[in-house]
Structure 1
Amino acid sequence: MREFEGMNTPALEKFLRDNGVDLQGDLRVELISGGRSNLTFKAFDDVSAWVVRRPPTSGLTPSAHDMAREWAVTSALGGTDVPVARAVAFDPEGLVLGAPTTVVEYVGGTVIRTQDDLLALSDSDIEANTSELVQVLARLHAVDYDAVGLSGFGRPEGFVRRQVATWARQWGSVQTRDLPDVERLRDALDAAVPASSESSIVHGDFRVDNTILADGDPGTVAAVVDWEMSTLGDPLTDVALMCVYRQPIFDVVLGVNAAWTSDRYPSADSIAERYARESGRDLPNWDFYLALANFKLAVIGEGITHRAIAGASSGPGAELAAEATQEFIAAGLDAIGTRSRRFASTSYETAGGAPSYDR
């Protein structure tokens, strides 16, 4: 049986048994394809299956592969109306696979990753999927994090300003060349941080391919996955990132023609409006949040190429992901510098008093 880099099947089998998992037959492991971040495996016996996740083997981006974070939030959300896989076991010290590792129950279903995956969906399927994604995100942001035991999960006060500093610091860790516009965007963001913001659980990486859809029902999310960037913070950072992911240049970061960049999905503005309506939230300082999301994706793209150069490529095209960095930085500068004028007359409002954009 093939052993994958970053995996030790005998050690994992012992770990599962030690944590009360009654294995039926030998444990087998497969590498789950897709994703540019943590290594994800499917482990299974003759009856059951689990998902095992751990950080890459080298070229890590600081704080971007936090398995303890993923474990804490998925464990806490198990009793809420946010769909997550059942938490099974956690190795915080990395004694089993050489890095912190989470194990959750395998959730069967469909993952929509590429535009080819969308060929099986009708326009009404995509509409139902969009509606469900927005509703799930709104439900996540409505969870009382104190009530589910996550009051210490993050520091919501000052979250947005720390985000600017965090991604600027991570740029310093992963940059592969000098790009003066990165500093320009960082300074513009730092000067425009909102004076106040709401707080909620945030996923930090929410889009269609980080969900598992019920088989035959794209309008039902069976589980939200990839929680390693979750925390307590400003819910609008989740919404803006979900919208900015819609840009076609994101294909370069993922190395595929991503489903979420397809023009069959509604526009970013439409998605933001749907979220505002569903959540009952206004979207104040929206240009700032769009610029911050672009900044984050610029650093993520650079980090993927940085890891590839370090010998930890996450798949074909990883060395090219940084080609998207300059476009994301330009989009961020455009958002924070000119979008407020461009959209000044197009605030979202309804006669029923639904939320509106404050640009």
Structure 2
Amino acid sequence: MKGLDLERLRDYLGSDRELTGRMFAGGRSNLTYAITDGERRWVLRRPPLGHVLPTAHDMVREHRVLEALSKAGFPAPRPMLLCTDTEVIGAPFYLMEHVDGTIYRDENDLQALGGPAMHALVLSLVDTLVQLHGLEPAAIGLADFGRPEGFNARQVHRWKKQLDASRSREVPGIEELHARLAVDIPAGGPGAVVHGDYRLDNVLIGPDMRINAVLDWEMSTLGDPLSDVALMLVYAGLPLEVKNGRGVVPLAVPGHPSILEISSRYAERSGRDVSDLHWYVGFAAFKLAVILEGVHYRYVQGQTVGAGFDTIGSLVGPLVMRGHEALEGN
């Protein structure tokens, strides 16, 4: 299996049972595998193959935040084991518990939910984000997990560096978008644990439309909670998948709450001021454009595993345009 040697993993775990596994579809960054010995089930996470950006794909950080959040009662998978020895499978990795649930990223599955269930699903997504941002970092052992002061300014600088490290082509308008974002950066309010990539297809949903687990914590830190809200809004208007040139946009699915209802729900439940999200949405679009450009970079270098990477690059341009529109008040 590409990216994972099951025999070496079995030897490391000291298991007397044969391991089988499969890679989860849909991931665009860290690689995620379902592992079983026939009786027990786990999920393994490891960095992507090839080009890895500085500060990204840190297994130790992911393991730490999952441990803290799961102990605090937040719906995050419980980590089971951390291995930093790259000799085992060729990269650091960790194992976590297997959580049952459905990831909704297929248009037919979303349409089949029906309006009321789709509405409840998205509101559950919002309420879970409120729950995350309501946790006190120091109380759950994450007081030093990041530096909330100056978070937005550092993010603007960091993601420009990430862009420069992943260039394989010219992206019209992206430099101008960064320059506009850097002019008037919000100071931000009190810091919180932020996910960094919060969206519909990063959660496992139970049959009652409640969230069983929030996944993919590789970009989590302490920072401005409005950054998560803005990214969630940007994702709502972007395709979950692109098939045969056709994108699946969550906002277009019957029952999906409007952008206004989502932001109002978050404001009401969290008590936070969301009256001016324009800069945050503009930055969220820029950040996501940089992330997808990095995925596109790995794709053109032949360093991706799985299907669907050929369409990722086409999403970068529209994201840059969305960022400019947000800064203009749209």
- Give the TM bin, normalised by the shorter chain: over 0.9
Query: Where do 1:219-234 residues align within 5 Å?
Result: 220-234=210-224
Q: 1:51 aligns with which of 39, 43, 46?
A: 43
The 1:131–1:180 alpha-carbon spacing in structure 2 relative to 1, beyond 3 Å, is closer
Q: Aligned residue for 2:11?
A: 14
Which runs of 5 or more structure 2 residues have no equivalent in the other structure? none
The 1:256–1:72 alpha-carbon spacing in structure 2 relative to 1, beyond 3 Å, is farther
User: Matches of 1:334 and 1:119 in 2, distance apart?
Assistant: 29
The 1:259–1:250 alpha-carbon spacing in structure 2 relative to 1, beyond 3 Å, is closer
Instruction: Classify the secondary structure of the residue corresponding to 1:42.
Output: strand
The 1:99–1:258 alpha-carbon spacing in structure 2 relative to 1, beyond 3 Å, is farther
- Kindly provide the CA deviation profile for residues 94-136 of structure 1, in whole angstroms up to 9, marking residues without a partner as x: 3321112011010112111211221331211112211211111
Say if 2:275 is the partner of 1:280: no
The one-letter amino acid paired with 2:9 is: L
Q: Aligned residue for 2:58?
A: 66
TM-score, scaled to structure 2 = 0.93
Instruction: Classify the secondary structure of the residue corresponding to 2:138.
Output: coil
Which runs of 5 or more structure 1 residues have no equivalent in the other structure? 18-22, 343-359
The 1:241–1:123 alpha-carbon spacing in structure 2 relative to 1, beyond 3 Å, is same
The one-letter amino acid paired with 2:26 is: G
Q: Is the 8 A contact 2:110 2:253 kept in 1?
A: no
Q: Aligned residue for 1:294?
A: 285
The 1:45–1:262 alpha-carbon spacing in structure 2 relative to 1, beyond 3 Å, is farther
Say if 2:88 is the partner of 1:104: no
User: Matches of 1:101 and 1:183 in 2, distance apart?
Assistant: 35
Sequence identity percentage: 39
Query: Where do 1:1-359 residues align within 5 Å?
Result: 4-17=1-14, 25-179=17-171, 181-214=173-206, 216-218=207-209, 220-248=210-238, 251=241, 257-258=247-248, 260-264=250-254, 265-336=256-327, 338-339=328-329
Farther off after superposition, 58-67 or 238-247: 58-67
User: Matches of 1:211 and 1:195 in 2, distance apart?
Assistant: 30
Instruction: Classify the secondary structure of the residue corresponding to 1:217.
Output: coil
The 1:62–1:116 alpha-carbon spacing in structure 2 relative to 1, beyond 3 Å, is farther
The one-letter amino acid paired with 2:54 is: P
Q: CA deviation at 1:251?
A: 4.2
Q: Is the 8 A contact 2:238 2:249 kept in 1?
A: no
Q: Is the 8 A contact 2:24 2:33 kept in 1?
A: yes
The 1:311–1:73 alpha-carbon spacing in structure 2 relative to 1, beyond 3 Å, is same
User: Matches of 1:196 and 1:241 in 2, distance apart?
Assistant: 16
User: Matches of 1:272 and 1:175 in 2, distance apart?
Assistant: 34
Q: Is the 8 A contact 2:41 2:97 kept in 1?
A: yes
User: Matches of 1:115 and 1:261 in 2, distance apart?
Assistant: 11
User: Matches of 1:263 and 1:156 in 2, distance apart?
Assistant: 35
- Kindly provide the CA deviation profile for residues 274-324 of structure 1, in whole angstroms up to 9, marking residues without a partner as x: 111111111154111000001011112211110011111344342332222
Query: In angstroms, what is the RMSD of aligned CA positions?
Result: 2.1
The 1:285–1:16 alpha-carbon spacing in structure 2 relative to 1, beyond 3 Å, is farther
The one-letter amino acid paired with 2:88 is: V
The 1:111–1:249 alpha-carbon spacing in structure 2 relative to 1, beyond 3 Å, is closer
User: Matches of 1:189 and 1:249 in 2, distance apart?
Assistant: 24
The one-letter amino acid paired with 1:134 is: V
Q: Is the 8 A contact 1:250 1:324 kept in 2?
A: no
Q: CA deviation at 1:46?
A: 2.1
TM-score, scaled to structure 1 = 0.86
Q: Is the 8 A contact 1:16 1:89 kept in 2?
A: no
Q: Aligned residue for 1:356?
A: none
The 1:170–1:261 alpha-carbon spacing in structure 2 relative to 1, beyond 3 Å, is farther
User: Matches of 1:196 and 1:278 in 2, distance apart?
Assistant: 19
- Runs (4 or more) in structure 1 with deviation over 6 Å come to none
Q: Is the 8 A contact 1:249 1:327 kept in 2?
A: no
